[in-house]
Structure 1
Amino acid sequence: MKTTFNVLIVEDDEDDQFLMKTAFETDSNRYDIRFVSDGTQVLANLDGTDFLPDIVLLDLNMPLIDGFEVLTNLRGSKAYRYVPVLILTTSDNEADVIRAYELGANTFLTKPNGHQQLIELAAQIRNYWFKLAKIPTRRLNH
């Protein structure tokens, strides 16, 4: 069983980055968490050579390149094609949900309002994606 997991969080809001970081710190020795603030940083690493995550938490509402375009490029990338992408956004718009799944998102989550709820959500993400679900290993992504 794998002992360390790579998590890429694509989030432009620094407060949300901080909250996500603290939410994952509960079990911090098991996770290598990297943040990028906009889609251009993700697209610069589509070959996966700098950091290939086990999952991606992706915000939709970002400047420059939005989450939908990032998701489209991730699904078209050889390295990221099978990496689970979890949409984590403030939107609860049905059209956004449908579009995200059409583009290949693995799940769509609306950000909770409070820090404690975010900690609980992070615990549920960790439990499901790293304990229950079977996700492709890095070897299968190349």
Structure 2
Amino acid sequence: MALQPGKLYEVVVVDDDEDEHILFREAARQYSTQINILFFTNGATFISHLQANNDRPNLVILDVHIPILNGYELLMALKQEETTKDIPVVVWSGVLLPQEISRCYKLGANSVVVKPDTYPLLVQSVGNLCRYWFDTVALPSI
């Protein structure tokens, strides 16, 4: 299933590292210009955005180590809410212990990915995510 011509895919990245925002956006652009990315630096701001807008992203990329409302709390909130529980969530974090990975899946994460430590690997990883979520699987309509 290739990207549909003219369709825009909405991705939300919740990560407090603004350098990651720049790198993630550039890596996604190398894959496709049909991917629109919104960035939030904490879970509370993203929840406020969801409450104020009817738009739902096609995919959420979530770092668990974020301030105010951490990634675990945000993941739990998204998966418990009827209007957001079907949004795929990929946990994307730098360092995760095995028990943290298990916790993410128990809270409803659809995937857990350890952030690559070089830009070429980041581009490859983002491309793999985009290929899987936008070319391979059927997503719920937003």
TM-score by length of 1: 0.91
Secondary structure of 2:33 counterpart: helix
3-state SS in 2 of match to 1:41: helix
Show structure 2 runs of 5+ residues with no match: none
Question: Which structure is richer in relative contact order (CA contacts within 8 A, separation 6 or more)?
Answer: 2
What is the SS of the residue equivalent to 1:74? Answer: helix
**Alignment correspondent of 2:74:** 70
1:52 aligns with 2:56: yes
How do 1:1-142 residues align onto structure 2 when only pairs under 5 Å count?
2=4, 3-47=7-51, 49=53, 51-138=55-142
Structure 2 CA distance, aligned partners of 1:79 and 1:27? Answer: 29
**Residue 50 of structure 1: CA displacement?**
5.2
- 2:57 alignment partner, SS class: coil
* Separation (CA, whole Å) in 2 of partners of 1:46 and 1:4: 18
Contact residue 61 and residue 89 of structure 2 kept, 8 A? yes
Question: Residue 69 of structure 2: SS of its match in structure 1?
Answer: coil
Aligned in 2, Cα 1:48/1:86: closer, same or farther, shift over 3 Å?
Answer: farther
| TM-superposition CA deviations, 1:2-47 (whole Å, max 9, x none) | 4210000001001111111111111442111100010111221344
Whole-Å separation in 1 of the counterparts to 2:100 and 2:52 = 27
How many aligned positions are there? 138
SS at match of 1:44: helix
